[in-house]
Amino acid sequence: MRGCLWLLLFGLLLVSVNCGNDSTSEPNESPDIDVTPASLSMTAQAGRDTTATLTVRNVGNATLNVTSITGTQPWLSANPTSFSVNAGSSRDVTVTASAASLSAGTYSGTITIASNDPDEATKTVGVTFTVTGGGTAQIEMIRIPGGTFQMGSTSQWAYSDEQPVHTVTVSAFYMSKYEVTQAQYQAVMGTNPSCFQGANRPVERVSWWNAAKFCNALSAREGRTPCYNESNWRCNFSADGYRLPTEAEWEYACRAGTTTDLYSGDLTSGYEDPNMNAIGWYWYNSNSQTHDVGGKQPNAFGLYDMSGNVWEWCNDWYGSCSSQAQTDPTGPSSGSNRVIRGGSWYIFAHRCRSAHRDYNSPGNSRYTLGFRLVRR
């Protein structure tokens, strides 16, 4: 009887084991995302971009679909932003951190990767971004699209050297949103020569030579190739550094698509005019001094103080206007005076017009003379 009981128990055990084996099934197929490295540490000089690589691996056994890759900060982006990865394969992603509008310091952000991984639909990678240089010298640049315009003027207020009006084509470039301020000049050059002191007022009493030296110094500070050869002061327009605008670039940027005396409209008076009051500081409203940059209305490109506040040095030697159509003209090869544009706090409205031309010796440094920058 005892033997029969043991036999019965053994039979039940076999049935139990067989039933367990019969109930097994193949595992479900699914993707499994893995991202390396787990975090990024990136560094760039102020005004520059830097890149790093993330590797997205699919360690699962089904296709991984990455639906989006986004940065949590405006300076952080990735490319590509969506793709598929087969099982056992990987895909590299380029992460870009841009210091185009950042001052020196350390910034934190996150790259977020969304996919069809059932266990981890969102993967995050922390990014630490260190921006070097720049400081208070960080200068905001605006991209000016290329185009063609009529350079010069036949307005009732026009001077003879503004003619003949001729067709000029200008390639795209970047121009500083504001005139160079005293704080920016001080940060780069270690001195502030201005008569009317104020950190956000335009720097003045700067000669053409010193404006060009500032361009080279700022270029070196940001790791760019300086434009000016300081032995002969010729400009290398192919370099990626900062320089003074050509006269054609300046007028094209000032007009911003307009054909009127000012970018705010035509003048009704050569001395005091409401259209000039809206956009710049000049004889009528300046109280005989400069003012903080950006205090008046910008033009359609987003540039401030193109008329009034301080005269702005241009790269060109002063000469007569061409009668021929031109593309990216750079002015005479030599001369005695450099072009200045835009008028100043000391000047009547008609001399603040978009087409008005004037000049000064490159060695002069007056309390009406300042500058702004361009680069490729």
pLDDT at 12: 43
Helix 208-221, helix 182-189: angle, nearest 10? 70
CA 52 to CA 264: how far, in whole Å?
45
pLDDT at 47: 62
Q: Report which of 43, 46, 171, 55 is spatially closest to residue 100, judged by C-alpha positions.
A: 46
Distance of CA 324 to the CA centre of its chain: 33
Instruction: Chunk the chain into consecutive blocks of 10 residues (it has 376) and report each block's average pLDDT, rounded to whole numbers.
Output: 45 43 58 94 80 94 94 92 95 89 79 93 93 69 97 96 97 97 92 94 97 96 94 97 98 98 96 97 97 97 98 98 96 97 97 98 97 97
CA 129 to CA 135: how far, in whole Å?
15
Number of H helices and number of E strands within the chain?
A: 5, 19
**Domains in the chain and their CATH numbers?**
33-133 (2.60.40.10), 136-376 (3.90.1580.10)
pLDDT single digits (tens) 218-254: 999 889 999 999 999 999 999 999 999 999 999 999 9
Q: Are 341 and 357 in contact (CB under 8 A)?
A: yes
What sign has the CA pseudo-torsion 263, 269, 271, 272?
Answer: negative
Q: Report which of 145, 138, 73 is spatially closest to residue 103, judged by C-alpha positions.
A: 138
pLDDT at 278: 97
Within the chain, strands assigned E span 33-36, 39-45, 49-58, 64-71, 76-79, 83-85, 90-98, 105-115, 122-132, 141-144, 147-151, 166-170, 173-176, 311-317, 326-327, 338-341, 358-360, 369-370, 374-375
pLDDT single digits (tens) 167-193: 999 999 999 999 999 999 998 998 999
